Amino acid sequence: MKESSQQGLNAYQLKVVQELSQHLIVVAGPGTGKTLTFAHKVANLLEEKKISGEEILGLTFTRSAAQEMKERLGRILSQPLAKKELPLIWINTFHAIALRILQEESYPFGPGSSYSLIEENEKRELLNQLAPKKEISRVLEEIRKQKQKLQIPQEGIGIKYQKLLFENKSLDFDDLFCYVSLLFKERPEILEKYRKRFSVILCDEFQDTSFAQYHFIHQLVSKHFLVFGDPDQAIYSFTGDFFSSFEQFKKDYPDHKILSLSENYRSQMTILEAAKQVINKNQSFLPRELEARMEEGLPIQITSYQTERQESEMIVREIESLLGGSSYFSIDSQWTKKDRENSRYGFKDICILYRFHRESRLLKKALERAGLPYKVFEKETKKGEVSKVEDLQNFQNNESGLPEGEAITLMTLHRSKGLEFPVIFILGCEEGVIPYTSSENPLIQSQEIEEERRLFYVGMTRAKNRLFLSHAKKRMLFGKMLESNPSPFLQDIEEKLKVLEKSKTPEKKVSAQDNQLSLFN
């Protein structure tokens, strides 16, 4: 065996690995080694509890997380055990597991039929045949909400859309859980077959489990159900109603036990304490026990700008300073200062986060002018806008994990989920942007603000060493010029943890001619 299934674990992680409860909630805050603990838990089931790999079902948020889990298990287990058991374990995303069951049971198209999954842009192409172009987004949203409640459309444009799907031998992603639910209802012996097979079900990133996904997995539970996640990092309610998977779990499994992973090994103490102060304004029905194990570090820098253009330019200058001066502009203007933080970062160590994709427009231009390489993690339509649902589906099913190569990373706060970087910039920290609300209903608006706070918390806790927050008085967004106050979330960070700066501009280089003239003055 390459290493013990308990080697290198702290006391909290070890307790989870050894816990025997049938129904277990593991509250795993950011940077607490959740993936490591998940993998060691599976290894312990195989090695110590002698459970066969075919009895284990593992659900992850993304394909890359599933692949990482398999690779970790391969390193933990002995070679003979890994060779024997790993091929038997089902570890994949909710969508992939649901699709596998449908394919194995030849449902809903029947034996010998092959079919494909269509993405958001293909759904729009189908609906172009059924609805006016200006109505397509609204119709898509109505169909999606129906399917999130496990209801296949039975009238209007919805049923015509389903007919077109079937004519094209296609399903969309939301169909998967609807048809698995129908399959189990029509043929209960198939449900029972899978219930008997999977004696242990483990679910990662449980906080972002939708109603449809929860219903799917709840049906399969027969003995052990273990969920890992953090309700403070639930950031995907836009995929359905405000459904709390943790609260539902507690109702469905009243004999559950709760354990916490409490030691954060990612962020320096100042960053983690500031993030905790932000998230503590939200109510919590599960324990918050998160402590930093890294050194105190430097204060969080919060900078105020007049315009978004100035914000973009000055973020680039700050990056050049962290890099030690890497562009001709930086060197020529003497913008990079030697008395700042010692240079120890490369391009790939730096990530810039924003609430909306369109906020990156000026930032990309500023980086290009400075000659700094960057990679943007987004999927754009022909109009340059991005569907949140499409972006999420692309992230879950096609993304490849951490960025590769020497480049600065640009992405939305949503897309940063599960990642970490030595340096994080979050721009647009303004009221109306972070937090952003779309409803005028006070109750829904309150729920939206709570989720926006969680989203900001996720962004802050991606940072390992440095965290820079910025806001601009004027910003062009949603087709109009916004004049905004700083985000109220910034006020939740106590003074000793932050440094406030006002907008600044690069020093103008003194020319040789000016130097010569000064000799005569």
- 3-class state of residue 172 by DSSP: strand
Dihedral sign of CA atoms 54, 59, 64, 68 in order? negative
Tell me the one-letter amino acid at 307. T
CATH 3.40.50.10330 fits 11-97+182-261, yes or no: no
DSSP one-letter string for 359-404: GGHHHHHHHHHHT--EEE-----TTS---HHHHHHHHHHH--SS--
Roughly what angle, to the nearest 10 degrees, separates helices 156-167 and 136-148? Answer: 80
Q: How far apart are the first and last CA of the chain?
A: 79
What's the CA gap between 226 and 210, in Å, rounded?
17
> What pLDDT sits at residue 443?
87
Low-confidence ranges of the chain (pLDDT < 50): 1, 327-340, 380-386, 507-521
For every residue of 12-72, which 3-state class applies, written as one string?
HHHHHHHCCCCEEEEEECCCCCHHHHHHHHHHHHHHCCCCCHHHEEEEECCHHHHHHHHHH
Residue with tokens 């109220």: 488
- 3-class state of residue 450 by DSSP: helix
> What is the architecture, at CATH level 2, of domain 269-326+344-378+405-502?
3-Layer(aba) Sandwich (3.40)
* pLDDT tens digit sequence for 138-190: 999 999 999 999 999 999 999 999 999 999 999 999 999 999 999 999 999 99
CA 142, distance to chain mean position in Å, is 24
> What pLDDT sits at residue 328?
43
In the structure encoding, which two tokens stand for residue 498, read together?
């932050």
Look up residue 86 and give its DSSP letter.
G
CATH 3.40.50.300 domain extents, the chain: 11-97+182-261, 269-326+344-378+405-502
What's the CA gap between 327 and 371, in Å, rounded?
6
> What pLDDT sits at residue 444?
86
> Which residue from 433, 377, 423, 426 is spatially nearest to 404, judged by alpha carbons?
377
* pLDDT tens digit sequence for 285-311: 888 989 999 999 999 999 999 999 999
Single pTM value for the model:
0.87
Q: Which residues contact 336 (CB under 8 A, 6 or more apart)?
A: 320, 321, 324, 325, 330
